[in-house]
Chains A and B, each alone.
Chain A
Amino acid sequence: MTETVKTGLLFAAAALLIVLDGTVSFGIFSGSWNSSLTILNMGLISAIMALGVNLQWGFAGLFNVGIMGFTALGGLAVVLTAMPVTEGAWSAGGFRIVGGLIFGAATIVAAVLAYTKLSAGRARSFTVLAILVVGFFVYRGIFDPGVAAVEEINPALQGNIGGLGLPVLLAWPVGGLIAAGAAWLIGKTALGLRSDYLAIATLGIAEIILAVLKNEDWLSRGVKNVVGLPRPLPYEVDLQKDADFIAGAASWGLDVTTASSLYVKTGYALMFAAVLIVLLVMAQLALKSPWGRMMRAIRDNEVAAEAMGKNVTQRHLQIFILGSAICGIAGAMMTTLDSQLTPGTYNPLRFTFLIWVMVIVGGSGNNFGAVLGGLLVWFFWIKVEPMGQLLMELVTSGMADGSALKAHLLGSAAHMRLFMMGLVLLLMLRFSPRGLIPEK
C-alpha cells in the first residue's frame, strides 16, 4: 500500500465516522446530523490548530505548550474587531487606558535601553530599578481611572470598550496578527532557551494571557463573558421566518428548525474547510520549499545548520510566530462559531495538551497527519464520553441496582476522557511514535 493510498484511506475513515454519526443511531453514534456537524466544525478548527503546532514542532522542533493562550487571543480579536463600539467608552476612559498602556510599554523599553546602554555596576541597577518602580506607579496612575470609568458604563451589559464594529470575518486574520504579535514578544525572550524551558515559559505565558482576559473587564468583560458576537451567517430564527427558506426546507423534506440549524452549521463547515485548505496548501508549499528544508535541517542538527550559516534563533522566531498566528486564527474562528467569548472555559488540558495529542497521533512533521489527527482525535474526544458510559454500563451490569459503587462508576464515566486521551498518547508514543501518517 503506498503512502498516498494509506493517507486517502485514513481520511476516508475520518469522513466515514462523521457520516456514520450523522446517519446511524447506534452505540456511540448519535444519528443526528446536527451533532455530527458540530463535531465536524470543531474538528476542522482543531485541525487548523494542529497544523499550527505541527509547523512549530514538526518542522522546527519547538516545544510550545502555550497554545491555549494564542487561541484565547484569537477569541479576543473577535471581540475587539466585530463588537460595536461601546458608546462613550472611548471618551470616558478609552484613550486614558491606551495612554497608560503606551506609557507602560515605554517604561519597559526605557528600562531595557538603560540596561543595555549604561555600563554594568551599581548605578545601572539603581537606574533600571528606579525607572521600573516610578514607571509602574505613574502607569497605574494613568491607567486605573480610565479602567474605572470604562467599567462604569452600563456594567450589566457592557462595561468594556467594545470593538471596532467591523465585519466579523476580518477578525480571523486580526486574531492571527494579535497572536503573532504576542508570539514575537514571547519568542524574543524565551526562544534560545532549552527545549523544556521554552515549554515551561509558554505554559506560563498562556496562563498569564488567560489571567488578563479573566480580569481586565474593560477589555473582555472578564468572567462576565462577551455574548452575542456578530455572526458571518444568518441567525436560525431569521431563517425560520424566511419564506424562501421554508419552501426550500420543505422540498428537502426537513422541518424548518432542523433545516435552519443544519444550514448554519454547514455554512460554518464550508468556511472552516476553506480556511483549512488554504492553510494546508500554504503549509505544504512551505514544507517543500527550500525554506522548509532549511527548517528541517535546523531541527535535525542545529549545530550543523548554524555552521552552514543559518541564523537558527531568527528562523525559530519566524516559525514560532507563524505557528502561533495559525493558532490565533483558529481561536478567532472558534469564538465566531460560539458567538461568545467565555474566558472561564479555556483550560490547558483541552486547548493545549489535546492539540498535542492530535499532532502526535496524526504524525508530527506531516501536515496531512496533523489535520487527520485533529479530526480523528476531536471525534474521539467527544465520543469517549458515550464510550465510557457504555463501558461502565457493561462493567456495572452485574452489580446490584442502587449500590453506591455502581452509581459512582456510572456518574464518573465522563472523566474517562482525560484518561483515554493519555492512554492514546502513550500508546502512540510507544508503538508508533511517528504517527498515523509519518513524515516522509
Chain B
Amino acid sequence: MDFLNALVALANFVLIPGITYGSQLALGALGVTLIYGILRFSNFAHGDTMAFGTMVTILVTWGFQAMGISAGPLPTALLALPFGILATMALVLLTDKAVYGFYRHQKAKPVVLVMVSLGVMFMMNGLVRFIIGPGDQRFADGERFIMKARAFKQMTGLREGLAIKTSQGITVITAIIVVAALFWFLNKTRTGKSMRAYSDNEDLALLSGINPDRVVMYTWLIVAALATIAGTLYGLDKSFKPFTYFQLLLPIFAAAIVGGLGNPLGAIAGGFVIALSEVTVTYAWKKVLNYTMPDGLEPSGLAQLMSTDYKFAVSFTILVIVLLFKPTGIFKGKAV
C-alpha cells in the first residue's frame, strides 16, 4: 500500500507535471531545431514568437467569450488557436520578407543572423507588451480537472490523490497529434522531403531543383504553428506573461541542443530530458520517501535537492554536460 501511495505521489507531483512541461518544451524545441536545420541559425526570437501567437489566441479567446462561444468542457482557447496560428504565420512570413531574407540572400554568417534575431526579439517583445501589457493573463476556462484528487482517493482508497488538470491532458494529446502530423509531413510529403533534403545538403538540394524560397516559407509556417501551439499550451497550463515566455528560451534551447540541434526527434527527447530533470531535482521528495523508506529512516527535511528557483541551473547543467561529452547531442545533430 505504501508503495502504491509513493507511486501515486510521484506521478502526481513529478511525472504528470514533468511530462506536460516536457511536451510544451518539445514543441518549442522542435521550432528552434527546424529553423536551425533549415535556416541555419539559432533563433533568439522564438520565445517571443510563442508569446505573440499566444497573445493573439488570448485576444480571440476573449472575443469568443464575449460572444458566448465556448467549447463546452474544453478551454475556449482551443477554438481560438487556429486564429493565433494564422496571425503568427503572417507575422513570421512578414519578418522573413522584411528582415531575414536579405541576410539569407547575402549568405551572411550565422552569427549575423543570430544578432538579427535579437533585433526581431526586441521588436516582438515590445509589440506583445504594447498590445497586451506586461502583466499576467489567465485565459483557461472550461472544466479544470479531468480527475480530481479527492475523486481518485475515493475511487482507489489510497491516501494519496492523483489530480490531472484538463490543460495537462490537452497538452499531452495535442503534442502527440502535432508531432505525429509533423513527422508524417516531413517523411511522407514531397514538401517535407524537400525540406529534409535542403537541411542535409543545401547545394545538392538546389541542384536537384528544390525551390529554396518554398522550403523556407514552409519552414516558417510550420514553426509559427508549433510556436503558437506550444505557447498556448504553456499559457493554459500555467499563465501567460511576456517575460516568462522570453525566459522559456533557455530551457527550449537546452532541449534542442541536448537532443541534437537540427534533429526533430532529438528536440522531443531533449524536451522531456530537460523537463523531467528540472522537476525531479527541484521536487521535495519528503512525501515519497516517507512512504518508501523503512520506519525511522524518514527524512526530517523536505529532501529537496535544490530550490525551485534553480530550475534554470538544472537545464543549464545538463546542457553543459552534454556539450562537453557529446557536443552533437543525444541524437546526432548538426555541428557546423
> Which residues of B sit under 8 angstroms from A208, Cβ to Cβ?
310, 312-313, 316
Contact of A200 among B102, B134, B257 (CB under 8 A): B257
Is A196 in the interface zone, CB < 8 Å from B? yes
Q: How far is the CB of A217 from chain B (nearest CB, A)?
A: 11
- Give the nearest-CB partner of A388 in chain B: B130
Q: Nearest-CB distance from B125 to chain A (Å)?
A: 5
Question: Is B312 a contact partner of A419 (Cβ separation < 8 A)?
Answer: no
B309 close to A199 (CB less than 8 A) = no
Q: Given A193-B327, A204-B316, A425-B119, A63–B129 Cβ distance below 8 Å?
A: no
Chain A CB within 8 A of B120 CB: yes
Taking A189-B320, A208-B313 as contacts, is the C-beta distance between A422 and B120 under 8 angstroms?
Answer: yes
Cα(A425)–Cα(B123), bound, Å: 10
- Chain A proximity mask over B215-255: 1 for CB below 8 Å, otherwise 0: 00000000000000000000000000001001101100110
Partner of A215, one of B41, B119, B307: B307
B115 within 8 A of A: yes
Q: With an 8 A cutoff between CB atoms, is B67 at the interface?
A: no
What are the residues of chain A within 8 A of B327 when measuring CB–CB?
193, 197
Q: Would you give the shortest CB distance from A115 to chain B, in whole angstroms?
A: 10
Kindly report which residue of chain A lies nearest to residue B123, judged by CB atoms.
A422
Q: A207-B250, A412-B129, A412-B133 are in contact. Are A199 and B316 (CB under 8 A)?
A: no
Distance from B300 Cβ to chain A, minimum over Cβ atoms (Å): 12
Q: A189-B324, A201-B323 in contact; A415/B134 too (CB < 8 A)?
A: yes
User: Once the chains are docked, how many angstroms separate the CA of A194 from the CA of B246?
Assistant: 23
Q: Would you call A356 an interface residue if the criterion is a C-beta within 8 Å of the partner chain's C-beta atoms?
A: yes
> A193, A214, A360, A429 — which one has the most chain B CB atoms within 10 A of its CB?
A429
| Complex Cα–Cα for A77 and B303 (A) | 32
Contact indicator A207/B114 (Cβ below 8 Å): no
A197 to B261, CA, bound (A): 10
A416 at the interface (CB under 8 A from B): yes
- Are the C-beta atoms of B115 and A196 separated by less than 8 Å? no
A204 near B118: Cβ-Cβ < 8 Å: no
Kindly list chain A residues whose C-beta atoms are within 8 Å of the C-beta of B125: 349, 418-419, 422
List which B295-324 residues lie within 8 A (CB) of chain A: 305, 307, 309-310, 312-313, 315-316, 319-320, 323-324
B111 engages A196 (CB within 8 Å) = yes
Given contacts A197-B257, A200-B253, A426-B123, A419 and B323 within 8 Å (CB-CB): no
Residues in B96-123 with C-beta less than 8 Å from chain A = 99, 102, 110-112, 114-116, 118-123
Question: CB of A131 within 8 A of chain B?
Answer: no
| Number of residues on chain B facing chain A (CB within 8 A) | 49
Does the CB pair B316–A195 fall under 8 Å?
A: no
Q: How far is the CA of A425 from the CA of B247 in the complex (A)?
A: 21
From known contacts A190-B320, A349-B246, infer whether A425 and B118 are also in contact, taking CB-CB under 8 Å.
yes
Chain A nearest Cβ from B133, distance in angstroms: 7
Q: Which residues of chain A come closer than 8 Å to B310, judged between CB atoms? A: 208, 211, 215
Q: Which of A200, A418, A420, A425 contacts B42 (CB 8 A)?
A: A200
Q: Which residues of B have CB within 8 Å of A204?
A: 250, 254, 312, 315-316, 319
B133 contacts which chain A residues (CB < 8 A)? 412, 415
Chain A residues with Cβ under 8 A from B66's Cβ? Answer: none
CB of A235, distance to nearest CB on chain B (Å): 34
On whether the beta carbons of A196 and B123 are closer than 8 Å, the reply is: no
Q: Are A211 and B313 in contact (CB under 8 A)?
A: yes
CB-CB under 8 A from B157, the residues of chain A are none
User: Interface on B for A, CB 8 Å cutoff?
Assistant: 41-42, 44, 99, 102, 110-112, 114-116, 118-127, 129-131, 133-134, 243, 246-247, 249-250, 253-254, 257, 305, 307, 309-310, 312-313, 315-316, 319-320, 323-324, 327, 335-336
Known: A347-B243, A418-B122. 17 other contacts (CB 8 A): A195-B111, A196-B42, A196-B111, A200-B42, A203-B253, A207-B247, A207-B250, A412-B133, A416-B126, A419-B125, A419-B130, A421-B126, A422-B121, A422-B123, A422-B126, A423-B123, A430-B99
A residues near B (Cβ < 8 Å) are: 61, 63, 136, 189-190, 193-197, 199-201, 203-205, 207-208, 211, 214-215, 347-349, 353, 356-357, 360, 412, 415-423, 425-426, 429-430, 433
